[in-house]
Structures are given as structure tokens and as C-alpha cells.
Amino acid sequence: MTADRRQTVAGAHSRIAAGALVPVDNPLVGVECEWLTYDGDPGRRFGRLTDFASFKTALSASADDLHGSLTFEAGGQVEISSKPHRTLTSLIDDMARDDAVLGLATADIGVTLRGRGLASAAVGLANDADRYRAAAAFFAAPGVCSNRDAAPTMMCTSASVQINVDLPTSHTDDAWILAQRLAPILGAVGANSPGTVFGRSYLSSRLATWELSDRTRTDAVPETDEVGAAAAAWADYALDARVMLFKDGATFAPTTGETTMRQWLAGHAPWREATAGDVDYHMTTLFPPLRPRGFVELRTVDAQPNAGDWIVPVAVAFALIVDAGSTRAALSATDGLQLSLSDAARLALHDDDLAQAAQRCFEIALETPTLNDRRAHDAVAEHYDRFVRRRLTPADETLAT
């Protein structure tokens, strides 16, 4: 379907569901790593457009040397998105080279990268791209967010590790069920943004902030136990989410948050008719903790303290989802446990059920044949001993220093 062709509700629902979860025989794995950026002094984040413009120009010159892709987020955060890989070994090799390139490039221009889920001080938009200005205007509209400060914080001061992994054809439904459980488990394990959010203390203040944003696009997709139902649930979720912005000539225009995509497709929006391209762009503005994109995208892990720390959550997720025996063992180990994202944000591994689930998942992953890269195995084993076995997280370590 061409992007400018008018789209109906039924057509959009069918197309979204068809592309939601596509099992494959040989699953691939990838990662997206975000970093907070500081201009020389780690006490100050990018907040002035002149700073960001110079930073982006200088850093973009290194983009051709990267294996993955480089993007700049709303508050000046940088992100490297890997290509999909068949093995953890090739993924780790590529990301190590990209980390080295990014580290040298930022050092040359006096910029410090920091791995943390949420910055300690708020800033406004640094990246003045029109889509970010439109998004900021949307989030500021009355009634969109349960707290109007949450969305600017989320856009401009948060950073995460996003895990991308295919579902295998051999045990698709079991792998999907486990992926839903891993979202809070790995969110707890990776908690790295201790702080207070509107009067309450959290170990992952980033996750807590997401929950206070526009919940039509940040809530979890309803849980299901098979991929067919999951695809339909994802299509309903997408159509019932508010339209954030739309293309208006050469720029993006914000909405006031009063119209869902379903209503726009049905002709009940105060602007032009919706096209297939509008639906496609709308899908990129949805941020549930677990996002179906053909593959599964886990979005619950805070940015980790050091360059290679992303390996741990990615390796655990890949090992447990891809290997059928490990998937079933992890499902058995987590049956009956209450695994809540809210508890992951507030208590992390101080929650009894999350701690038990994390310990068993790490133990199973360490015995999984898929975890055959020595660097990945050693990283998972070290993290287990240093944190998970002791029911601690990087956030706890930060609070103790």
C-alpha cells in the first residue's frame, strides 16, 4: 500500500496486526543504547540550542565510521542502534567498535556521556527538530498527561537500553508469554535512576515518569497468551491511542490530544483524511514497555552505567526467549509470581517476587546453550554475583556512594 493512500479502520487494524509479531526460524537480536550528554562539566546537560547544534555537527562527522545508526534525541541524548545480528558475538563486536568511535568523538569535542536512566536536572528541548517541537506541544495540551511535567522529563532527560529480539517459530507463544514477564523483571534488574518523582522515591524514576505521561501510548499492551491475540490487542491499542502529530506540508503539526487514530481513520478529526503513511508514523509515537515491531522490543531497562553493561539484559533476554528449553524453564520458574512494572520502578529487586524471578532467570540463562559467547556469559555471571544474587541494582550502588 502506498503511503498517501486513504486508510480505513478495518484496513489499518488488519495491517497493524499482520506486522505485529512475525516469528522466524533463526531469531536475530539487536540493541539500542542511549546516553545522556554533558557539555564538559557533568553537572550541566545540553540545554541551549547553540550547544546542541555544534555538538550534532561535530558528532555526525563520525557517523560513517559506525556499524549501527546514530540518532539525536529531544534533550540532546545520543543513541546508537545496532543492526540485527544472528549471534551475541557479532552484536558485541559491532557495539564495542561503535562505543569506541562514539567515545573518541565525544571526547574530542569536550562532551561527556553518562549512562543513567534519568538526568538529575530538567532541561528543555535541545534538538529543535519540528517533530520534537510538535510532540512537546501535544504533551503540554490539557488532559494528555496525568502530570504535565512528566512528558518533558521523559522526552529530554531519560535514556534507556532497548532490547530487540525475534520470536522463534519453534515455541512462539511460550516465547511471547515469557517476553511479557521479562519486561518488569529486566526493568527491575536494570534500575539505574534512583530519585523522587513528584514526592515518591523510586529506584527507576525513568519508569515511574513514563507511567505519568500519556497513558494511551505508554501503558502496557494487554497481556495475552498467544501471538494471534497479541497482534489483535496491539492493533486495538494503536488505534485507540491519541494522535500526537501529523504531517502538515513540510512540517509536523501537533494535535490537542482529543482524537484517537481510530477516530481519525473514521473521518472524525478536524483535519485532513488519514493515510497509510499517517498510520505508519503514528506507530512510531507509541512507547509501551513491550512493543511489537515484527520482533519484540523490550523498553524497560534504564541506560546502564558503563559502555558494555547493556550486554547483560540483552544476553539474558536473547538466551531465554530463543532457546525452547530455557523459555519453558523460565516460565515454570516465574509462574504465579506477581511481576509488576510499578513495583519494578519503585522497589526493583527489593520486591520479593521480582527478586526471585530475576535470580531464577539469570541462573537458567547461565545454563543456556545460546549464551555461548564468553564475554556475554562472564558479564551475566558477574552481574548475578554482584547484584541479582544480593537483590541489588545499579541504583542501589549509586545510592550507597
- Which residue from 346, 317, 94 is spatially nearest to 195, judged by alpha carbons? 346
Cα gap 73→214, rounded to integer Å: 19
pLDDT for 392 equals 98
pLDDT surpassing 60 at residue 290: yes
pTM of the shown model: 0.95
pLDDT surpassing 80 at residue 4: no
Residue 3 belongs to some domain of the structure: no
Residues in CB range of 218: below 8 A, 6 or more apart: 210, 211, 287, 288
Q: How many domains does the chain have?
A: 1
Question: Which has more confidence, 110 or 309?
Answer: 309
Residue 124 belongs to some domain of the structure: yes
**What residues make up the domain containing 17?**
9-393
Residue 38 belongs to some domain of the structure: yes
Residue 69 belongs to some domain of the structure: yes
- Which residue from 384, 393, 386 is spatially nearest to 363, judged by alpha carbons? 384
**pLDDT tens, residue by residue, 103-157:** 999 888 888 899 999 987 777 788 889 999 999 999 999 999 988 788 888 999 9
Distances (CA, A) of 98 to 92, 146, 381: 10, 38, 24
pLDDT for 112 equals 87
pLDDT for 167 equals 98
Lowest mean pLDDT, pick from 39-48, 309-318, 387-396 = 39-48
Q: Quick one: pLDDT band at residue 322, thresholds 50, 70, 90?
A: very high
Residue 4 belongs to some domain of the structure: no
DSSP single-letter state for residue 188: H
Residue 399 belongs to some domain of the structure: no
Helices (H) and strands (E) in the chain, counts: 17, 11
Q: Residue 166 sits in a domain of what CATH number?
A: 3.30.590.20
pLDDT surpassing 70 at residue 43: no
Residue 400 belongs to some domain of the structure: no
DSSP string covering 95-106, please?
HHHHHHHHHHHH
Phi, psi of 355 (to 5 degrees): -65, -45
